[in-house]
Chain A
Amino acid sequence: MTENRPFSNAKLGVLILLGAETMLFVGLIGAFLVFRMGNVTWPPLSHVDIRLPNLLTGFNTLGLIISGFTMFLALRAVQQDRIKQLRILLMITGVLGLLFLVVQGREWVQLIGKGLTLQSGIYGGIFYVLIGCHAVHVLGAVIWLAIIIGMAVTGKFSSVRYTGVETCTIYWIYVVALWPILYVLVYLA
């Protein structure tokens, strides 16, 4: 412990957690690919009339990516002791994250209205489970971020104390980076 460790315990812990998260998604994406390859047509014939809202989700994707960028800027801000900017950037990130969830929620309501449900074959099933699993992660990240915003507002962070912001940033950016993969796989491919 006299030597300098490249990562603090908290940072390392979060990075290791991401390994497990990745494998969780590997399992689900693997299942998706098995269904995708196992069916001659995709969506399967029973769902030919279902169109996933590619364009709207595309904008949503863009919003999420921007939130990853603002989160990164927030980390830079706290490292340089610009606490006021930190608060603003964190809040923008949080709003973008919430917006993503709200848009996706509306999408789901519309899709269910069109008849794409969890029970309607594997097409609906894997869509809701895979996308839902990611949404749960976004929700978790938003809750985590809310706690961080609370701490930022009460002045818990400075240029020498920002582990909370850093770990949250790592997780946030992971969740953001995961999304384009799912978007391409599920919506576009």
Chain B
Amino acid sequence: MQENENMSHEHDNDEHHDHAHDDNDTIEHTHEHDDDEHHAHAHHEEGFIRKYIFSLDHKMIGKQFLIYGLIMLFVGGGLALLFRWQLAYPETPELEGGKPAKAAKPLPIIGPSQKYIDDGEVVTRADKMWERIFDSDKAEFLEVNMPSGFIEPHFYNMLFTMHATIMVFFVVVPILVGAFGNFLIPLMIGTRDMAFPVLNMLSFWLAVLAAVVMAAGFFVPGGHASAGWTGYAPLSVDPQWTGVNWGLNLWAISLLIQGFSSLVGSINYITTIINMRAPGMTWLRLPLVIWSLFIVAILLLLAFPVLSSALALLIFDRLAGTTFFTSTAEGGGSALLWQHLFWFFGHPEVYILILPGMGIASELVAVFSRKPIFGYRSMVYAMIAIAFLGWVVWGHHMFQSGMRPGMGAFFMTTTMLIAVPSAIKTFNWLGTMFRGSIRFTTPMLHAIAFVSMFVIGGLSGIYMANTPVDVYIHDTYYIVAHIHYVVFGGSLFAIFGGIIFWFPKMYGRYMNDTLSKIHFWLTFIAFNCTFFPMHILGVGGHMRRISNPMQYEYLQTFEGMNLFITMSAFTLGFVQLILVFNFVWSIYRGKVAEKNPWNVNTLEWEAPTPVPHGNFAQIPNVYRGPYEYSVPGEESDFIPQAQPEHAPASAGD
């Protein structure tokens, strides 16, 4: 800290690299710098609060979003592990033709010992805790939701609802759009900051507020929202049906706040990309990740307000006594309306979750194949096509809602059309790798995992798009497998790859490669062990969102598979600690990285490392497309976008 203080005073050189500042990112200290007056400097120093908390710098806001998303990733993952435990060790009742009866197993660590369950004898510390909890008059959180370490059905509902809500709205979008968008957009288009830095800060702090409101929902009487992350009406409308009162209100309010955060963020992104590109950075010289973030910002801008309108109507229903989503005989509303509004937002949202992953994968695949991206234009047009088609497929979430078969056929066709641009992208990635000099760095491994897992998730999607097939597999674990192959196998692998790839630019150091590789392989194996068997469960008729499948005789055969999935899920969860350890350790102790460690063309690598306030000493001129790797006749196998002279016909253009 002392070092930090000293450095801020000897600061007037624009080229100055101060590791100590970026290194102290996560550390709290209360020094107030006395140099707030130095605003005249192009690259002035700011006090701790302005630099690390209420920062206006896009790089810091990006890092804040990253840390925020990673924290929420563990919250959301923890919830998943809780309900996976319940699925692995549920109570098996005696059923005709089924397995012999078996008692449920309490949660590890917080669960009491068998002795305590049998005869109330206090043996372990957990027993002591439960003794105290049962003796107290207050209805404590643990007692209400998981008495003696057994997850109550109502708590199970809460867990899967909040797992999905947190993962979608508080992990994947904040990291992909919030973190990568903020960090990369100004750097890659060659400008000093976002168009509206104050709105940018507002966007982050609204997201924090939303997270706090969402977290508070667990502790209100009645518990948190438990109508599924889709909040289907009429289940979500009347507290008497789920027993949840303020939990669901807070859920809706939190998502409204998150909507404002997204709105502000997307206005910022779109304006920045349209108006602030460096000279020469034409639309078709934009890196694909920026294209993906641009398209996603438009989707967020247009999709989220629809959810906001639905949430507003829901809140009116719950608090003001309207009947928008309850069908009554006369003058009543329509429960189906919720589904239409939700999925009109929800399907574009699905592409919001995957498109930036596609963008990141495109960067990584091109860089580490040392080849121009195959079919740059078709990549861009494919993303635009996906974004457009995303608006006309929402009905495929509602095949079983009693829609007219004709409508079903329409939505089936449009949904299957999406396979075309998706396949274009996949083949372009393969085409990029084909006969490239592939470097199997860890980011590249993640990118390849992204492509292959996305293909599996995409293919299972085509099955579900078929209305007749969907009749059979809807609402089963097949759907769960599909969404996780796309969002975990897709988005999260891209996120991990992106973090490792841009870490040297963010923190000026490499992440430890051995740890990264161990993390990658364990994640890849555990991920497939967790989610692949879910396809089989789904085809076997195992419905999702059920706390005890053992109550059905025909599902009792899946006991072993559920146990296997849970074991894999716990492995998957614990393996992520390697990433966190590596991340934090590398910020302080990682190998110091040079300016352009991966030999990349795009502009962010032109900026000094770590990137100073204002990014570039001088705004670069852009002379070529972003993917000129291994150009024949050139000495170097990469030609940075900002390098003038002897420009051969741009391969990416």
Contact = CB atoms under 8 A, between A and B. Distances in A.
B438 interface: no
Given A7-B275, A19-B302, A46 B270 contact: no
A12 B274 contact: yes
Interface in B312-327: 312-313, 316, 320-324
A30 B330 CA distance: 20
Given A23-B302, A23-B303, A122-B324, A16 B270 contact: yes
Contacts of B274: 5, 7, 12
B216 interface: no
Interface class of chain A by DSSP: helix
Given A20-B304, A30-B340, A31-B324, A129 B196 contact: no
Given A13-B196, A23-B303, A23-B306, A45 B331 contact: yes
Contact of A46 (B278, B324, B330): B330
Interface string A115-129: 000111111011001
B330 A45 contact: yes
B290 interface: no
B320 A119 contact: yes
A164 interface: no
A38 B334 CA distance: 8
B551 to A, nearest CB: 37
Interface string B91-108: 000000000000000000
Contacts of A19: 298, 301-302
B195 interface: yes
A94 to B, nearest CB: 26
B306 A26 contact: yes
A30 B619 CA distance: 46
Contacts of A28: 309, 312-313
B310 interface: yes
Nearest to B194: A9
A121 B333 CA distance: 8
Contacts of A20: 263, 266-267, 301-302, 304-305
A9 B192 CA distance: 14
B324 A126 contact: yes
A176 to B, nearest CB: 20
A47 interface: yes
A38 B335 CA distance: 12
Interface residues of B, number: 45
Interface in A25-48: 25-28, 30-31, 34-35, 38-39, 44-47
Contacts of B341: 27, 30-31
- Chain A interface category by residue count: 35 or more
A9 B271 contact: yes
A5 B328 CA distance: 54
A12 B322 contact: no
A60 to B, nearest CB: 24
B330 A44 contact: yes
A21 interface: yes
A13 B330 contact: no
B601 interface: no
A44 B300 CA distance: 36
B331 A121 contact: yes
Given A31-B313, A118-B320, A125-B324, A13 B271 contact: yes
A30 B270 CA distance: 26
Interface string B439-454: 0000000000000000
A75 B71 CA distance: 48
A153 B523 CA distance: 63
A181 B330 CA distance: 27
Contact of A9 (B196, B301, B306, B316): B196
B276 interface: yes
A188 B324 CA distance: 22
A1 B279 contact: yes
B337 interface: yes
A17 B267 contact: yes
B258 interface: no
Contacts of A34: 334, 337, 340
A3 B277 CA distance: 10
A121 B337 CA distance: 15
A129 B302 contact: no
Contacts of A118: 316, 320-322
Contacts of A2: 279
B315 to A, nearest CB: 10
Contacts of A17: 263, 267
A119 B321 contact: yes
Interface in B332-390: 332-334, 337, 340-341, 344
Nearest to B308: A24
Interface string A36-68: 001100001111000000000000000000000
B165 interface: no
A20 B262 CA distance: 11
A24 B256 CA distance: 12
Given A17-B267, A19-B301, A118-B322, A24 B279 contact: no
Closest 5 CB pairs of A and B: A27-B309, A121-B331, A125-B322, A24-B305, A44-B331
Interface of B: 191, 195-196, 263, 266-268, 270-271, 274-279, 298, 301-310, 312-313, 316, 320-324, 328, 330-334, 337, 340-341, 344, 619
20 contacts: A12-B195, A13-B271, A19-B298, A19-B302, A20-B266, A23-B302, A23-B304, A23-B305, A24-B305, A24-B309, A27-B306, A27-B309, A28-B309, A35-B333, A45-B330, A122-B331, A123-B331, A125-B316, A125-B333, A133-B312
Given A122-B323, A129-B312, A129-B316, 8 more contacts: A26-B309, A28-B313, A31-B309, A118-B322, A120-B331, A125-B316, A125-B323, A126-B324
